[in-house]
Structure 1
Amino acid sequence: MLGPLLGADRVAATLDARAWLDALLDVEVALTHAAAQQGLVDDAAQVERAAQELRAGLDPAILAAEAVEGGNPVIPLARRLRAAAGPAGAAVHPGATSQDVMDTALVLLVRAAATVIDDDLGGAADGAARLAGEHRDTPMAARTLGQQALPTTFGLVAAGWCAGLDRARLALVDVVGALPVQFGGAAGTLAASYPHGPAMADALADLLGLPRADVPWHTERSRLGELAGALGVAAGACAKPATDVVLLSATEVGEVSESAPGGSSSMPHKRNPVAAVTARASAGRAPGLVATLLAAAGHEHQRAAGPWHTEWPALMDLLCATGGAAARLRICLEGLRVHPEAMARNLSLTSGGGTPHHAGELVDRTLGGRERQ
């Protein structure tokens, strides 16, 4: 019910139960092929066919219910995959532990969700860049501590939005792109695939199109902390322009308005900046989820009892929160209407004290920097 309203529907579709099942099966199939490359198993083709049967016939809700007993869905999935593979069942899940499959599937899901988030962050930044170019020299009042300060231009305000969105987007791309495969076996020593463990880990990464890992990271979660931080920063970069739009579209200010404002169930005169409002709402969820993921970073020994499980829903929610903020902000900025006459009227309240001498130059520097990226 709330996904489209909060902008999370596109990201959520990459993280639903079917997406989880597909990602887990992708990892299991790749594991078998990686082991086959090292001569550890045969019948990889039969395992792949069995996986295709499960994709078509297994209800993810059944797997979710079966996951309760062992604490993760990999245990019942591997059991079902072995049964479906028949005589080739011994080639399923070679040398792996459940966390290898869960973490690697999580990386695949993050990459899919991040592609959607990147598209919307880029779209929002493009919208801000267009506004900056069109209103490079449109004067308005800068406001500090809620009061009119000196004149600026709306182009420079929008250029600031654009710069923040671009910076957050590029940082998120870097963090997501560096997330590696996970393969360490039961205790992170690759013992079950000796003497081919490192080669098999690299083959698994290559088959899935992921970076290779230096060492297994079962309980070394700094990468997920970096991901949480990057998603939180991106949400904050969305919250800034959304907040400005809410304030600038107030009836008494009237300097901007959304192209499709929302109405009221009881007040027909209302023209609410709903896209900006819901962008702020989604972004506002992010800091708590970032904190949850950082608090869960203290995994004990070689397998965490609880913190690992904490990560799954928190990260899924954080991806949806940041993705929702980006999606709703994109809608807001792509159709934002600017009212220069209202900006001039409000600026006259303080006699327009001063001239924004370098505003246009700063806009040009911002937009030129985008062209060089």
Structure 2
Amino acid sequence: MRAAPPILREMAGATPCSPHRCERQGLSMHLAADDGLLDPVWAGSRSSLDLDDRAVAHTMLRVEREWGTVCGDAGIVPRDVAAAIARAAAAVPSDDELRRIVEQTPLGGNPLIPLVSQLRARLEDAPAAASAVHKGLTSQDVLDSALQLIAADAIDEHLAPDLIGAGDAAARLAAEHRDTLAIARTLGQPALPTTFGYRAATWLVGVQDALGRVREARAALAVQLGGAVGTSASLVASGADVDGLRAALAARLRLSDPGRPWHTNRAIVLQLGAALAGVVAAAGTIAADVATGSRPELGELAEGLAEGAGGSSAMPHKRNPVRSVMLRGAALQAPALLSTLAAAAGNAVDERPDGAWHAEWPALRGLLRLATGAAEHLCALLDGLTADPERLRANLAAAGDAVLAERVVGRFADAAQGGRTGLRDAIASAARAHGDVRAAALAVLPDQLDGRPAADALDEAFDPRGYLGQAQQLTDRAVAAWAEARDAAAG
């Protein structure tokens, strides 16, 4: 008979042991590290240590510490008790403490229960303080507040600064290449002339929009306080000013005060998740363009890679656009995580969801990891990106006269044999046969156009510089709007 899984033996009172985690001698359980071995977009990022299990546990302790201080200030607990709680909760969990929290989390279904036990154990010599720990709270108050605080710190310290850096780099590329001719592609095929500056400006708008949504989500991040079923009954019974306590805790955690608990109203989490997924989507769009433009047969773009980056385990000649590859991978992962948050929000039943709340935790942390890692790589990608104007122009020229067909038909349809349909069909037939589009147009046009030889009129019509639409003006607007937003944020 197969042995029961370790956690089932733990629930049955047996000592847990797994051949993957336990030493050959003794039953000491090791922590299973998750440093991003299979998630390179955030592995080793500046935010990675701020989002690991130890950081989550320490942030929950921070919430308990600040709550103890708030209770002390309000006279709910003596100040010396509050001070003792603050001292005990200040220490980062040790390896042994974190191991025990991880082991015991499945027993109650959330990590706060064993963490509170650990905190009380730290206060074994101060029984009054141990008894006052977690006073009036429920697990969801602390865990929700901690995850909101983790998100706030990640946005303030990593995500927003990196998006600003990415925006600055995109604005520089847009301004530098405002007039650099390029071929626009739709559905993977050459379409019309454009400028590389306008493409970079489009990236810039995406970054700016993503940053705006992140800032809106950051402002909405809120403290959670509602007690066991959202009524704060135990605090009310003790005569506490619950609204005042909530406001004080929000201020100490630098979160907003929603004025009420939100145990089953998960709009705040969903808004945050959507903003994080939007960051990854914006980065993925840019990465897709860069990956395409850096193909050797196009040669339009090149990532500024560090020594040893972008190589292959088998092919010495490879110079892979590795940042773009990682960003595209992240963009494929984020939608599923956002979908989990949306599903959880729609299944938040009763006064505390039975599973939907639990599904949020890994999905939200996954989005935070992807978004912060993606923003860091995006900033570096755009800052080091180089565009080759000659190759951009050469690829436009290689697309041939057919990419100006829209302009020719629009200008000369009334003069052509068979009108618009005759001119359009002649050009389309030549293009499909890889023939001479200009000769095909001349064949159905009169000798004179606009008072001059038709060939001269077509030379002008087939000049891509005259058919850029608003590309340059829109580029200027995007760069100016970014500068204005930067100045406003700095002010």
State which of 85, 89, 92 in structure 1 corresponds to 2:130: 89
Give the C-alpha shift of residue 318 in structure 1: 1.2
State which of 176, 182, 190 in structure 1 corresponds to 2:224: 182
Distance between the aligned counterparts of 1:143 and 1:53, measured in 2? 56
Could you tell me which amino acid in structure 1 is paired with residue 118 of structure 2?
R
Q: Find the counterpart in structure 1 of residue 280 from structure 2.
A: 235
Question: Given the superposition, is the C-alpha separation of residues 180 and 13 from structure 1 closer, same or farther in structure 2, using an over 3 Å criterion?
Answer: same
Residues 7 and 279 in structure 1, CA contact (< 8 A), matched pair in contact too: no
SS of 1:152's equivalent in the other structure is: strand
After alignment, is 284-293 or 11-20 more displaced? 11-20
State which of 18, 22, 40 in structure 2 corresponds to 1:5: 40
Residues 42 and 48 in structure 2, CA contact (< 8 A), matched pair in contact too: no
Distance between the aligned counterparts of 1:68 and 1:366, measured in 2? 50
Q: Find the counterpart in structure 2 of residue 338 from structure 1.
A: 387
Residues 163 and 375 in structure 2, CA contact (< 8 A), matched pair in contact too: yes
Give the aligned length: 373
State which of 313, 320, 327 in structure 2 corresponds to 1:272: 320
Could you tell me which amino acid in structure 2 is paired with residue 348 of structure 1?
A
Could you tell me which amino acid in structure 2 is paired with residue 303 of structure 1?
R
Could you tell me which amino acid in structure 1 is paired with residue 392 of structure 2?
M
2:266 paired with 1:221: yes
Could you tell me which amino acid in structure 2 is paired with residue 178 of structure 1?
A
After alignment, is 7-16 or 170-179 more displaced? 7-16
Q: 1:288-321, CA deviations, whole angstroms, 9 ceiling, x for partnerless residues?
A: 1000111111211101111111111111111112
2:183 paired with 1:137: no
Report 1 or 2 for greater relative contact order, CA contacts < 8 Å, sequence distance ≥ 6: 1
SS of 1:59's equivalent in the other structure is: helix
Distance between the aligned counterparts of 2:69 and 2:186, measured in 1? 60
The percent identity for this pair of structures is 42
Q: 1:210-231, CA deviations, whole angstroms, 9 ceiling, x for partnerless residues?
A: 1112210011111111111111
Residues 17 and 61 in structure 1, CA contact (< 8 A), matched pair in contact too: no
1:1-373 superposed matches below 5 A: 2=37, 5-8=40-43, 9-42=45-78, 43-52=81-90, 55=93, 59-85=97-123, 86-87=126-127, 88-115=129-156, 116-194=158-236, 195-196=239-240, 197-260=242-305, 262-297=310-345, 298-349=347-398, 350-351=400-401, 353=404, 354=464, 355=466, 356-373=468-485
Give the C-alpha shift of residue 57 in structure 1: 7.9
TM-score, L = length of structure 1? 0.95
Question: Given the superposition, is the C-alpha separation of residues 348 and 54 from structure 1 closer, same or farther in structure 2, using an over 3 Å criterion?
Answer: closer
Distance between the aligned counterparts of 1:364 and 1:300, measured in 2? 50
Is there any run of 5+ residues in structure 2 with no aligned partner, and where?
1-35, 405-463, 486-491
Q: Find the counterpart in structure 1 of residue 29 from structure 2.
A: none
Is there any run of 5+ residues in structure 1 with no aligned partner, and where?
none
Could you tell me which amino acid in structure 2 is paired with residue 33 of structure 1?
T
Distance between the aligned counterparts of 2:270 and 2:296, measured in 1? 41
Could you tell me which amino acid in structure 2 is paired with residue 359 of structure 1?
A
Question: Given the superposition, is the C-alpha separation of residues 167 and 102 from structure 1 closer, same or farther in structure 2, using an over 3 Å criterion?
Answer: same
4+ long deviations beyond 4 Å: 53-58
Question: Given the superposition, is the C-alpha separation of residues 72 and 253 from structure 1 closer, same or farther in structure 2, using an over 3 Å criterion?
Answer: same
Give the C-alpha shift of residue 358 in structure 1: 3.0
| Bigger Rg, structure 1 or 2 | 2
SS of 1:246's equivalent in the other structure is: helix
Residues 58 and 92 in structure 2, CA contact (< 8 A), matched pair in contact too: no
Distance between the aligned counterparts of 2:294 and 2:91, measured in 1? 54
After alignment, is 358-367 or 263-272 more displaced? 263-272
Give the C-alpha shift of residue 17 in structure 1: 1.9
